[in-house]
Amino acid sequence: MFRSSSLCPLTFVAFSFAVLFQSQLITRSLNPCLEVTPGTTYKCMELNLSGIPPDIPTSTQSLDLSFNPLEILTSNYFSSVSALKFLDLTRCHIQKIEDNAFVGLWKLSVLILTANPLHFLGPRAFHDLVSLQRLIAVETKLSSLNKLPIGHLTSLQDLNLSNNYIDSLKLPKYFSHLIFLRFLSLQANKISSISVGDLDALSSYNLTLLLSKNDIKYIEVNAFLGLHIQEISLRGCFESSTVMQASLQNLTGLHVKSLVLGEYRNMKKLKTFSKSILDALCHMYLQEITLISIGDVIFNTGDLFPCLNNISSVRLVDTYTEDVSNFPENSSIRYLEFKNCKFKEVPSVRLSSLKELRSLRITRTKRLVEFEADFQGLQKLETLDLSENRLTADLCWICLRNGVPNLKYMNLSFNYRISLVTECHALPKLEKLDLQHTTLSGTGEYPVFLCLVNLIYLDISYTGTNIKSECSFCGLNSLLVLKMAGNTFENNKLVNILKNLTNLQILDISNCRLQSLSLDSLGSLRELRELNISHNKLLGLHSEAYAQLQALTILDFHSNQLAIFTEKDLENFPRSLKSLYLSRNPFDCSCENLNFLQWAKQKRNPLQHPESMFCHSPMHLRDVRLMDFDLSSCHVSTTTVATSVSISMVLVLSLILVYKYYFHLYYMAVLLSGRRRSTENDNVYDAFVIYSSKDQEWVKRELEETLEAGVPRFRLCFFYRDFIPGVPIITNIVQEGFQSSRKVIAVVSSHFLDSRWCNFELEVAQSWQLLDSNASMILIVLEGVDKAVVQRKLGVFRYLRRNTYLVWKDLELNRHMFLRHLRSALLDGKTWTEEELRLMLTG
């Protein structure tokens, strides 16, 4: 009964908490949409919605309603979410957009209408979208540009109308208002002919026009005459080489910066590709050409010329090019790229005539395994990108320096194997070197980057490098960025190797199996802004290290063995720190780390993705989110700690008291238990004598011999004689002494008063008197005792009527008087046994 009534309020509280929590959950799940960013970003994909969910807040800026059966957008449809900037209505079965459907959305920047069968668009369907920059209406069954009422959308930059049924490139007049239009995709429509005047309405000079995947059969001569276009893409547009050639020929007079020609790998129509096709380009004003998937025949770069000799940029992609033929002298090509071609070696020498070449890229070439670096006279080459091939090479710094002395950027990443040597003839102008994901030999053992004095960017991530030499990065005095994730350090420890990189701003040593960083390893990196030490086995940095990195803005420490930041760490954190990544560390959520936990829950700390920080210990909190950690649980426990501390203090205190007054307590117990018996007991002794053992002689002479041998005969109780051995002294005192005696004789001397034991006995006697109203005491005060002390000690007991107060003096007369008084005091209340009476009579 008692127990259950005490449990009741507790259960009630717990229950109400549970109910509260539950109701919170319910309100959250009422809204079927995913809340990506509270208040601004919601995803409501595929929820069988037929309108905007009522609890989407008006502040929402980004709303994804794709794959819901909205069907008809009536006017004011979106008035409840007028702050929208991004709206995705992909595949919503929308057939009809009525006038003013988007009214109020004057901030909307992106509208996606992809895959809706738009049968009807009101003339004011897109009214009010004054900020619209991108309209994506891919696959909307649109059959004509005239049906799209977008003439007033003057902010429009991108219009993507791919995969529709538009059969004419005749731009409606309203295009003249779209002065910011940069991108018009009519890819995969039904445009088969282009005539003079079709593009007259075009007012933008910067347009990228995608016409790929239209089956173009006819282009009228001069259809593009005098037009200036940024880029035209005509991939997969022609059914044969003949049509292609004739069409290109009819593009006469077009000014296009960049032309993309070719096919798609999986839908090739052209059987042959002849040089004459490209001759057609001679009549165009062209700066850049990209040829993609041209023909199955081996394509010879010689075919490009002479028509393309004035072109500055040539890209060949997915093309069966095995080798380059010599380029003509005086070529103006500045940019040359081969991507996924069929080279086996880098055609260094063949490119020598490209005196204007600034940038050479040969990438993603599966067969490319050799690189001799025997370039000649490419004085202007600044960029060399040979990434994503299968190169195995000994990098010859001298050769590079001779052939391409002005190289600033070299990318050899994602190749097979590169050997580097120490050579002080390296490229003095090289600024960026990317070797990531290519097995390197030499790095980490020798100072292979020596003399790259202008290098500011070095990436040797995942290159199988094991840093052994302290001089691995010697000479890189200008380095700002060092990326070396996925390598190893000797003994898994970072020591002094970065010391001289005093300008370093970005350092990535993630995934390096690091177990420790020496304090001075980072100490000299005063300019460091970004430090990535994620995916290591670090327990933390030295507190001082944080103080040294005063320019740090980004610190990525995720996936390590960090348990907490100490108070000192937090204190020393650089003020500049903006982003701190700590997820996937085994955090210790014990209350002793309250400071850290409190800090982690603060809104204004620089923590990124705090939702993916979990407790690892203590056991019962494992996998609890740090954010969800209940700080008050620690406060509760501090109060329990406080109460338990005070309880134990009380306990200790009472133990001390018990220890101190042990005898008193014990004697009380004995006394009380004895009192019950004493009523039945006959008194054995006439008096129990308490005295100091130093007065033993006096007691023997004046009491024992005088009283026990004299007449009348008295029986006294002396502890040395009458106490029962083996029984606790207190029990003896109480049971043998007080309980068995009629009176107590206290022999008060200065020894007596000095002795703690005698004082105690006296106190016991006094309490005994209080308990037993018949008990009386005979106080014998010996010579030389301080009267004041005696009076204080004896207090009121001196004056109790049943007590006798005697002063002993060593004088004959006095002794006589003393003995008489003592005898009469002892006789008071004495009953004689028959034996005693007989003895007395005979005596």
Ligand X SMILES: *[C@@H]1O[C@H](CO)[C@@H](O)[C@H](O)[C@H]1NC(C)=O
Judged by the rule CB under 6 A, the positions of this chain that interact with ligand X are 48, 50, 136, 138, 158, 160, 162, 183, 185, 205-206, 218-221, 243, 246-247, 250, 329-330, 363, 387-388, 411, 413-414, 432, 434, 470-471, 474, 485, 499-500, 510-511, 532, 534-535, 554, 556, 581
Burial classification of residue 608, based on how many CB atoms lie within 10 Å of its CB (0-12 exposed, 13-18 middle, 19 or more buried) = middle
> Residue 780 half-sphere exposure, CB side, CA atoms within 13 Å?
29
Kindly state the tokens that stand for 825: 């005091």
Question: In whole angstroms, how close is the CB of 157 to ligand X at the nearest point?
Answer: 10
Burial 575-599 (b: 16+ CB within 10 A, else e): eebeebbbbbbebbbebebeebbeb
**For ligand X, the closer CB: 239 or 754:** 239
Nearer to ligand X, 24 or 240 (CB): 240
Q: Looking at beta carbons only, is 100 or 250 nearer to ligand X? A: 250
Cβ distance to ligand X smaller for residue 203 or 767 = 203
Q: Is the peptide bond before 712 cis (omega within 30 degrees of 0)?
A: yes
Taking Cα atoms as reference points, which of 114, 119, 90, 89 lies closest to residue 102?
A: 89
Nearer to ligand X, 386 or 597 (CB): 386
For residue 571, the Cα-to-chain-centroid distance in whole angstroms is 18
Name the residue nearer to ligand X (CB basis): 432 or 601.
432
Strands 506-508 and 530-532: parallel
| CB closer to ligand X, 160 vs 732 | 160
Q: How far apart are the C-alpha atoms of 250 and 794, rounded to whole Å? A: 137
Q: Which is nearer to ligand X, 424 or 657 (CB)?
A: 424
Residue type, 645: V
**Closest separation in Å from C-beta 511 to ligand X:** 5
d(CA 471, CA 450): 9
Q: CB-wise, 140 or 776, nearer to ligand X? A: 140
C-beta of 109: minimal distance to ligand X in Å?
A: 14
Closest approach of ligand X to the CB of residue 624, in Å:
25
- In whole angstroms, the minimum distance from the beta carbon of 652 to ligand X comes to 54
Shorter beta-carbon distance to ligand X: residue 421 or 506 = 506
Q: Are 808 and 814 in contact (CB under 8 A)?
A: yes
Both tokens assigned to 310: 């004035």
Of residues 404, 408, 410, the one with CA closest to residue 377: 404
Of residues 544, 495, 552, 543, the one with CA closest to residue 525: 552
Residues found in the chain: 843
Between 64 and 434, whose beta carbon lies closer to ligand X?
434
Residue 250 or 735 with smaller CB distance to ligand X: 250
Phi-psi region for residue 540, left (φ > 0), alpha (ψ -120 to 50) or beta? left
Shortest distance, CB of residue 551 to ligand X, whole angstroms? Answer: 16
In the complex, what is the shortest distance from the CB of residue 432 to ligand X, in angstroms, rounded to a whole number? Answer: 5
User: CB of 151: closest distance to ligand X in angstroms?
Assistant: 19
Min CB(483)–ligand X separation in Å: 9
Closest CB 587 distance from ligand X, rounded Å: 19
- Residue nearer to ligand X on the CB measure, 556 or 702: 556
Query: Hey, how many other C-beta atoms are within 10 angstroms of the C-beta on 32?
Result: 12
Q: How far is the CB of 202 from ligand X (least distance, A)?
A: 12
Nearer to ligand X, 136 or 440 (CB): 136
Of 333 and 780, which has the nearer Cβ to ligand X?
Answer: 333
Q: Which of residues 458 and 699 has its CB atom nearest to ligand X in the complex? A: 458
Whether the CA torsion 135, 141, 144, 148 is positive or negative: it is negative
Which DSSP letter does residue 347 get?
-
CA contacts within 13 A on the Cβ side of 647: 6
Round to whole Å and give the CA distance between 567 and 589: 15
Q: CA-to-CA distance for 457 and 504, rounded, in angstroms?
A: 10
The least distance separating ligand X from the CB of residue 59, rounded to whole angstroms, comes to 27
Provide the minimum distance between the beta carbon of 346 and ligand X in the complex, in angstroms, as a whole number. Answer: 15
Nearer to ligand X, 220 or 527 (CB): 220
What residues pair up with 194 in beta bridges, in sequence order? 219
Q: How far is the CB of 595 from ligand X (least distance, A)?
A: 25
To which H or E segment does residue 64 belong? strand 62-64
**Cβ contacts of 247-251, under 8 Å, gap ≥ 24:** 247/216, 247/218, 247/219, 248/277, 248/280, 248/281, 248/284, 249/280, 249/283, 250/219, 250/220, 250/221, 250/222, 250/223, 251/219, 251/223, 251/224, 251/280, 251/283, 251/284
Distance set, CA 330 to CA 282, 361, 713 (Å) = 17, 20, 152
Cα–Cα nearest to 468, from 447, 438, 440, 499? 447
Tell me the one-letter amino acid at 490: E
Residue reference for tokens 């057939």: 95
Cα gap 418→421, rounded to integer Å = 10
Token duo for residue 166: 């538009």
Residue placing its CB nearer to ligand X in the complex, 305 or 666: 305
Minimum CB distance to ligand X, residue 316 (Å):
17
Q: What is the CA radius of gyration of the chain?
A: 53
Q: How far is the CB of 139 from ligand X (least distance, A)?
A: 7
Task: Write the CB contacts of 503 (distance below 8 Å, at least 6 apart in sequence).
Answer: 477, 478, 479, 480, 527
Minimum CB separation from ligand X for residue 620, in Å?
31
Give percent helix, percent strand, percent coil of the chain, each to the nearest 5.
30, 20, 50
Beta carbon of residue 115, minimum distance to ligand X (angstroms, whole number)? 9
